[in-house]
Structure formats: structure tokens, C-alpha cells
């Protein structure tokens, strides 16, 4: 379990396959197979990535467990070529657990919609004050939630008052091709800071499992094949 933001983490649960599976899946086109990674295999992977032959990369699968704020999860679940199971706010009483950014992550935006730039808030006292405001809203919302539950309101309705900074938890299963798509979009300078932190950590796991594939991914501009 690796913390990536305060209260948020990624856990690598399992994987199936490695660079050799990519190579052998591609080589099946030529009716060939290697028992171990050999000379030429890195070049083949490089060739596949450069020419957008994506299917051999689907042969490797990853499973993660993730704890992140809803604002992050909402972006995450837009990635449809993946499998998800998530804590249900209909069945489980949500915990009083919301995302409180580090002071260095309190940021302002400049520029135009679609092309924002983000900079840290220089006035740290002010940043601290804004964090306190966030916490107050979280507290007010959660207290209301608890009151509504105490009064008997169904959880699925009462959760409307909870904040979008609330942490949720889910399993995320994804193949290496779709994971590269995720990394190219989310471990990118214009992605939201928080989802970037998750994507950075996942890219470490990706690199550890598929070092040759990762090298080719970097070399060819971080574009998913």
C-alpha cells in the first residue's frame, strides 16, 4: 500500500503476464515463441509500440486496490476498458474521511478553460486558512449526514449531503494497453494534480512488471498503442 496523497493510496494486488507474454503474443503472428527474453525482444516491443500494434499489450493484466476522493474516482471511472468494484454508499455508512490537501497542493489556476496552468498558492497562511474552510465544510456535511441517518433517512438518500472530497475505495483491473492509455492521460502535466499522483505510483508498478514495454512507452512519447 503506497500513500500518494494524504489519506489516499494505491495497492498493487496482482498481475498476469510480463514482457515475454507481450513478445510471444506478438510472435504468434509469425508462429514463433521464445522461452525467455532474448536479443531482439526489446526491439520487437519497440516496433509494436511505435507502429501502434496494441493487442499484444492486452495480454498482460493488472489488479489494484485504490482509495481516493470522489473527485478523482469520477475521472478514473471514465476509463471504460477496465473492471471496477467499489464500496457502495447505498449499503455502507460512509466514513468521515475526506481529502485534505497538503499545503503545497493548494493551488491557483491561471489561463483559459481547457488550457489552465496551476501554481501553488504562495501565501501559506492563506492556504492554511482555506484548508480549514474545506475541513469545516466536510465536518458540517458529515454531521448532517449522521443526523439524517439517526433520524432514519435511507443511506442512499442521505449521502447526497456528503462532500465530493469524500474517500471511496475500489478495485481496478486493467490490461497493459488500457493502463498505458490511463498513464498517458493521467500522468501528464495537464491532468488534475491528485490523479497524477495516483498515476505516477501506478506507473512505477507498470515499469516494474513490464520494464521493456515501459521503456518503449517513454521513448515513443507516452502514447498508448
Chain positions 37 to 96 lying near a copy of itself, rule: CB under 8 A, are: 47, 52, 55-56, 58-59, 61, 63, 65, 69-71, 74, 77-78, 80-81, 83-92
65 has which bridge partners? 11, 171
DSSP letters for 71-137 = HHHHHHTT--SSEEEE--TTTSPPPS-B----GGG-EEEEEETTEEEEEE-S-HHHHHHHHHHHHHH
The question of whether 222 is a catalytic residue gets the answer: no
Question: Within positions 167 to 186, which residues make up the interface with a copy of itself, using CB under 8 A?
Answer: 169-171, 173, 175, 185
Question: If binding means CB under 8 A, how many residues of this protein chain bind a copy of itself?
Answer: 88
Nearest residue (CB) to a copy of itself, 65 versus 96: 65
- Spatial contact of 205 and 1, defined as CB atoms under 8 Å apart: no
Applying CB under 8 A, does 165 fall inside the site for a copy of itself?
yes
| Residue that is written with C-alpha cell 516491443 in the block | 45
Site residues for a copy of itself, window 89-148 (CB under 8 A)?
89-92, 98-99, 101, 105-109, 113-114, 116, 118, 121, 126, 129-130, 133-134, 136-138, 140-141, 144-145, 147-148
Query: CB burial class (10 A; 0-12, 13-18, 19+) of residue 109?
Result: exposed
| Binding flag, residue 16, a copy of itself (CB under 8 A) | yes
Residue 163 makes contact with a copy of itself by CB under 8 A: yes
Q: Which residues are catalytic?
A: 186
Amino acid at each position: 500500500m503506497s500513500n500518494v496523497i494524504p489519506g489516499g493510496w494505491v495497492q498493487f494486488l496482482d498481475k498476469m503476464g510480463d514482457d515475454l507474454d507481450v513478445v510471444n503474443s506478438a510472435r504468434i503472428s509469425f508462429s514463433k515463441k521464445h522461452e525467455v527474453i532474448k536479443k531482439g525482444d526489446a526491439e520487437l516491443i519497440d516496433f509494436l509500440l511505435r507502429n501502434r500494434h496494441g493487442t499484444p499489450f492486452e495480454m498482460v493484466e493488472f489488479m489494484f486496490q485504490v482509495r481516493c476522493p470522489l473527485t478523482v474516482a469520477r475521472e478514473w471511472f471514465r476509463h471504460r476498458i477496465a473492471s471496477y468494484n467499489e464500496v457502495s454508499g447505498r449499503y455502507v455508512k460512509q466514513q468521515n474521511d475526506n481529502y485534505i490537501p497538503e499545503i503545497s497542493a493548494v493551488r491557483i489556476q491561471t489561463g483559459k478553460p481547457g488550457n489552465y496552468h496551476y501554481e501553488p498558492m504562495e501565501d501559506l497562511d492563506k492556504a492554511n486558512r482555506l484548508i480549514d474552510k474545506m475541513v469545516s465544510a466536510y465536518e458540517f456535511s458529515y454531521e448532517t449526514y449522521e443526523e439524517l441517518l439517526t433520524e432514519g433517512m435511507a443511506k442512499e438518500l442521505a449521502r447526497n449531503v456528503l462532500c465530493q472530497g469524500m474517500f471511496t475505495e475500489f478495485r481496478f483491473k486493467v490490461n497493459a494497453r488500457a493502463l498505458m492509455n490511463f498513464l498517458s492521460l493521467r500522468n501528464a502535466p495537464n491532468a488534475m494534480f491528485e490523479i497524477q499522483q495516483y498515476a505516477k505510483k501506478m506507473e512505477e508498478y507498470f515499469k516494474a512488471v513490464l520494464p521493456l514495454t515501459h521503456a518503449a512507452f517513454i521513448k515513443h512519447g507516452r502514447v498508448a498503442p
